[in-house]
Amino acid sequence: MKTLVPNYYKKFRCIADKCRHNCCVGWEIDIDDDTLGYYADLSGDFGKKVRQNIDFDDECPHFILKEGDRCPFLATDGLCEIIKRLGEDALCDICTDHPRFRNFFSEHTEMGLGLCCEEAARIILSYDEPFELVPTDEDFAVCLDDQEKEMFDEREELFSIIRDRSVSVFERMERIASKYSFELQDLFPEKLKDLYLSLERLCEKWTDLLLAITSFDINKSILSDKKYSVCFEQLLCYLIFRHFVDGMYDDRYAPRIKFAISGVLLVANLCDNVNCADLDIFEISRMFSSEVEYSQENLDKVFDSL
């Protein structure tokens, strides 16, 4: 399958034990059928340990989390015991792919990095070159069906607006709002505060941040600081890249555009409202991603409300 990836994609490398938010903590890790069969055939004491730490009774077999919702194979040094003993090829699909995601089309696939990973967030938001999708194979030529072509043309128009560095990021969002006939002010965080608080939440710190939302002056906010313009440009491109294409299946293009813009406004507002060294734009964006866009239930509720 031919694949397109963002131009920053190949910069990603898992930072493993250096990660402050290990993806082996707090997530129930489902095991695909092929890997489950491999684990079933493992010999020796370690094979027995692997099987003892799998819940086979659930609809989808998964690792049984330990105290603190830690994967049973997350060692005290922050590294994966399965990798150390068996190599990376022994990982299940979810562990191999994370934080990658895919958009599938008739003749090709798009693959990106998920913002919920702190290293991916750092790479995405700090990448200075304008967002672009590039092929992983030099021989890239596909034939799009009519629906795909219409969606790609529309998305490229959005990218063109977002990448226009001759104006501020806020002005770019105003252009998008005008194009799709909605009021940008309706997406300001103080207007959507109750919606954000109504969503399922994972982290108490995220709740505290949402409760601290107040109205903010765009002209005096981090959103108007040129030092952060690339970060917000890349954040907006990322959200459009990840979510806009699914409008082909439910025709909810406009809510997805509003979600992307509201996400940028929310991150900007939260950055302005905190005074904590470990809560910079990268960390707040990561929290937004893990709290909102990694829950389909939360996404659906937001799309239905916008």
With a cut of 90, say whether residue 285 has pLDDT above it: yes
Residue type, 287: M
Residue 100 has pLDDT above 80, yes or no: yes
Say whether pLDDT at 275 is over 80. no
Cβ partners under 8 Å of residue 224, min gap 6: 168, 170, 218
Give me the residue label for tokens 């734009």.
Answer: 281
Q: Is the pLDDT of residue 245 over 90?
A: yes
Q: What is the pLDDT of residue 42?
A: 92
Return all residues near 301 (Cβ < 8 A) that are at least 6 apart.
195, 198, 199
Q: What share of the chain is helix, strand, coil (3-state, %, to 5)?
A: 55, 10, 35
Does a cis peptide bond (omega within 30 degrees of 0) precede residue 99?
yes
Amino acid (one-letter) located at 285: S
Backbone dihedral angles phi then psi of residue 34, each to the nearest 5 degrees: -65, -45
- Residue 303 predicted with pLDDT over 60: yes
Residue 83 has pLDDT above 70, yes or no: yes
pLDDT tens per residue, range 115-157: 999 999 999 999 999 999 999 877 777 778 889 999 999 999 9
Q: Tens of pLDDT along 154-186?
A: 999 999 999 999 999 999 999 999 999 999 999
Query: What is the residue whose two structure tokens read 């063109």?
Result: 160
pLDDT in tens, 129-138: 999 999 987 7
- The answer to whether residue 202 scores a pLDDT higher than 80 is yes
Q: What is the mean pLDDT of the segment spanning 293-303?
A: 94
Task: Tell me the per-residue pLDDT of 251-267, one tens digit each, with 9 for 90 and over.
Answer: 999 999 999 999 999 99
Torsion of CA 256, 259, 265, 268, to 10 degrees: -100
Q: What is the pLDDT of residue 276?
A: 58
In this structure, the number of other CB atoms found within 10 A of the CB of residue 144 comes to: 15
- 3-class SS at 242? helix
DSSP secondary structure code for residue 209 in this structure: H
- Count Cβ atoms within 10 A of the Cβ of residue 119 and give its class: 0-12 exposed, 13-18 middle, 19 or more buried: buried
Pairing relation of β-strands 2-6 and 108-113? parallel
Q: What is the mean pLDDT of the chain?
A: 92
Q: Is the pLDDT of residue 277 over 60?
A: no
Tokens of 24: 């082996």
**What is the average per-residue pLDDT within 297-304?**
96
Give percent above pLDDT 90 in the chain: 73
Any idea which residue has 């903590």 for tokens? 25
